[in-house]
Amino acid sequence: MADTYDIVIIGSGPGGYVAAVRAAQIGLKAAIVEKDPFYGGTCTWRGCIPTKALLENAAVYDQTRHAKDFGIGTGEVTLNFGAVMDRKTKIVRKMGKAVENLIKTNKVDAHQGYGRLAGPGKVTVTAAGGKVTTLQTRNVLLATGSVPRMLPGLAADGKRVVTSDEILDLKEIPRHLVVLGAGAVGVEFASIFLRFGSKVTVVEMLPRVVPIEDEDISAELAKSLRKQGVTIHTDVRAGNFRATSERVSLDISPAGATGATGTATSPATLESDLLLVAVGRRPLSDDIGLAGTGVKVDKGFIQVDGYMRTGEPGVYAIGDVVPTPLLAHVASAEGILAVEHAAGREVRPINYDHVPSATYCEPEVASIGLTEAKAKERGFDVKVGRFPFTHNSKAPILGHTEGFVKMVAEAKYGELLGVHIIGPRATEMITEAGVALSTEATVEEMYRTIHPHPTLSEAMLEAARGVFGRAIHT
């Protein structure tokens, strides 16, 4: 009989492969099962990496077109979309290879095929040719991730109707892109194709763009996107989708009250050559052998406790397949937690209030902790500090002065509760706030920390000072 593994991990996304490496580091005999012919999951192949590669192309193109603002003459600036997509693909392949190498060098057994639970301590792997191998294991980690959610009656054809998967294989830039859904994925693609030259329309059912962010951030982003030329319809219902080989159209009508970032939208028909459906993700839990086990599932999401344990002894689940934020860094943190717990290490559950979120649109958005509204809902007496990048020393040097840092603190002692940034390099800046939150810092401790000059991070310091009305540069 084959050796028994300490842990078999199903799925090699940022949840699964990071868990596998950590398992090997702490001496567990580990195997990873992946149904796709490559390792790295959504993040590497269809998510974080390709989108950020394209966003960088958009930023470079934009910067080059505005080079004369820096005194640099360039002549005609052109965009070769084929070369843009090739660069993205090269980066993705390189990252995928790096994940494969990590799995190999850490001596994790890799099994290519479809993984399923097959009774206590057993996982079957069905290879592409149909051959079934059974792995014996003490623990199983389900890290099967998610796929794009589609609307009923609509199918992605890769030509007129796409999800975040098919849009990564486009052969040409759409003349008019309609984006359904103004969450992180929707506004990132809006931001890419707007700068590539498409006309872009964003349609959102909720009253504001990036609806999970602080309301002030949503309002600022909507203002900026509109200024850049994006048409935004918030608080609308979309339906009656019609796609031909040439065009795609849909009807929109008001969904409810006009929201913080919305303008009253009358019923209208939107016609374009490409519709991107970015309305969320569906967890992959339906065909992995959960029937008859103690694993509980709600709306497709596997239910877990603070240590990522499911209701079935020895079976853990992490990442997009569990109901925690659908983010790569969350999946990785959960993977490490699960394997360390399985190995009997002392571990602490994740504090999901301290998970940073980052949206790489232009201007970037990043946040951590409680929004102003959430902090009030939880009964905090709240004070807010806000500092605009127009008053920061570095932003004008970069040529990007849009946005602000908003700091939410508890009024009496100044305990930091949340930080919300919209503006240049927001996604890099947010980590300082993460360290402050995880060490339970006060805003005073933040502003007593001397920040280098001239940097964007001084906006963080000034927002912290601003909580108690002590900002210098306002």
Ligand X SMILES: Cc1cc2nc3c(=O)[nH]c(=O)nc-3n(C[C@H](O)[C@H](O)[C@H](O)COP(=O)(O)OP(=O)(O)OC[C@H]3O[C@@H](n4cnc5c(N)ncnc54)[C@H](O)[C@@H]3O)c2cc1C
Q: Could you say whether residue 328 binds ligand X (CB under 6 A)? A: yes
Q: How far is the CB of 75 from ligand X (least distance, A)?
A: 34
Give least dist CB 397 to ligand X, A: 26
Under rule CB under 6 A, residue 24 binds ligand X: no
Which segment (259-267, 318-326, 451-459, 465-473) binds ligand X by CB under 6 A?
Answer: 318-326
Which residues, in sequence order, are bridge partners of residue 7? 30, 139
Other CB atoms closer than 10 Å to residue 81's CB: what's the count?
A: 14
Query: Does 51 sit near ligand X (CB under 6 A)?
Result: yes
319 counts as binding ligand X under rule CB under 6 A: yes
**What is the amino acid identity at position 283?**
P
> Which residue in 111, 400, 451, 453 is the catalytic one?
453
Residue 331 interacting with ligand X (CB under 6 A): yes
Among 57, 137, 139, 144, interactor with ligand X by CB under 6 A: 144
For residue 312, the SS3 value is: coil
Owner of token pair 């349609």: 203
In the numeric block, which tokens belong to residue 272?
């374009």
Q: Verify whether residue 453 is a known catalytic residue.
A: yes
Nearer to ligand X, 42 or 224 (CB): 42
Among 137, 139, 164, 234, binds ligand X (CB under 6 A): 164
Q: Does the protein bind ligand X through residue 405 (CB under 6 A)?
A: no
Q: How far apart are CA 320 and CA 144, in angstroms?
A: 8
Least distance in angstroms from the C-beta of 67 to ligand X: 27
Closest CB 304 distance from ligand X, rounded Å: 12
The residue among 318 and 409 lying less far from ligand X, judged by its C-beta, is 318
CA distance 402 to 390: 7
What's the burial of 271, exposed, middle or buried (CB within 10 Å: 0-12/13-18/19+)? middle
Give the residue, chosen from 20, 48, 370, 407, that forms a contact with ligand X under the rule CB under 6 A.
48
Applying CB under 6 A, does 329 fall inside the site for ligand X?
A: yes
Minimum Å gap between C-beta 170 and ligand X is 14
Is the torsion defined by CA of 218, 220, 223, 224 positive or negative?
negative
Report if residue 417 touches ligand X, rule: CB under 6 A: no
Alpha carbon distance 394, 411 (integer Å): 30
- Other beta carbons within 10 Å of 31: 23
Cis peptide upstream of residue 363 (ω within 30 degrees of 0): yes
Phi/psi zone of residue 153: left (φ > 0), alpha (ψ -120 to 50 degrees), beta? left
Q: Which stretch binds ligand X (CB under 6 A): 32-40, 203-211, 390-398, 446-454?
A: 32-40
Rule CB under 6 A: say whether 180 interacts with ligand X: no
Q: Total number of residues binding ligand X (CB under 6 A)?
A: 35
Distance separating the N- and C-terminal Cα atoms of the chain: 72
CA distances from 395 to 51, 70, 314, 360 (A): 24, 14, 51, 17
Q: Which of residues 269-288 bind ligand X (CB under 6 A)?
A: 284, 288
The residues in 72-111 that bind ligand X, with binding defined as CB under 6 A, are none
Binding mask 106-125 for ligand X (x = CB under 6 A): --------xx----------
Nearest residue (CB) to ligand X, 109 versus 415: 109
CB of 357 to ligand X, least distance (A): 8
Query: How far apart (Å, rounded) are the C-alpha atoms in residues 258 and 360?
Result: 26
CB–CB of 367/356 below 8 Å? yes
Q: Is 384 in the site for ligand X (CB under 6 A)?
A: no
Minimum Å distance from CB 88 to ligand X? 12
CA angle 459/460/461 to nearest 5° reads: 90
- Residue 193 lies near ligand X (rule: CB under 6 A): no
Distances (CA, A) of 33 to 30, 49, 125, 135, 230: 10, 22, 7, 10, 42
Interacting span for ligand X (CB under 6 A) from 30-38, 73-81, 129-137, 217-225: 30-38
Residue 267 near residue 203, CB atoms below 8 Å: no
Tell me the CB-side half-sphere exposure of residue 171, using CA atoms within 13 A.
3
Span from 137-145, 262-270, 290-298, 387-395 in contact with ligand X (CB under 6 A):
137-145
Number of Cβ atoms within 10 Å of the Cβ of 373 = 13
Q: Enumerate the active-site residues.
A: 453
List of residues contacting ligand X (CB under 6 A): 10-16, 33-36, 41-43, 46-48, 51, 114-115, 143-146, 164, 185, 284, 288, 319-320, 326-329, 331
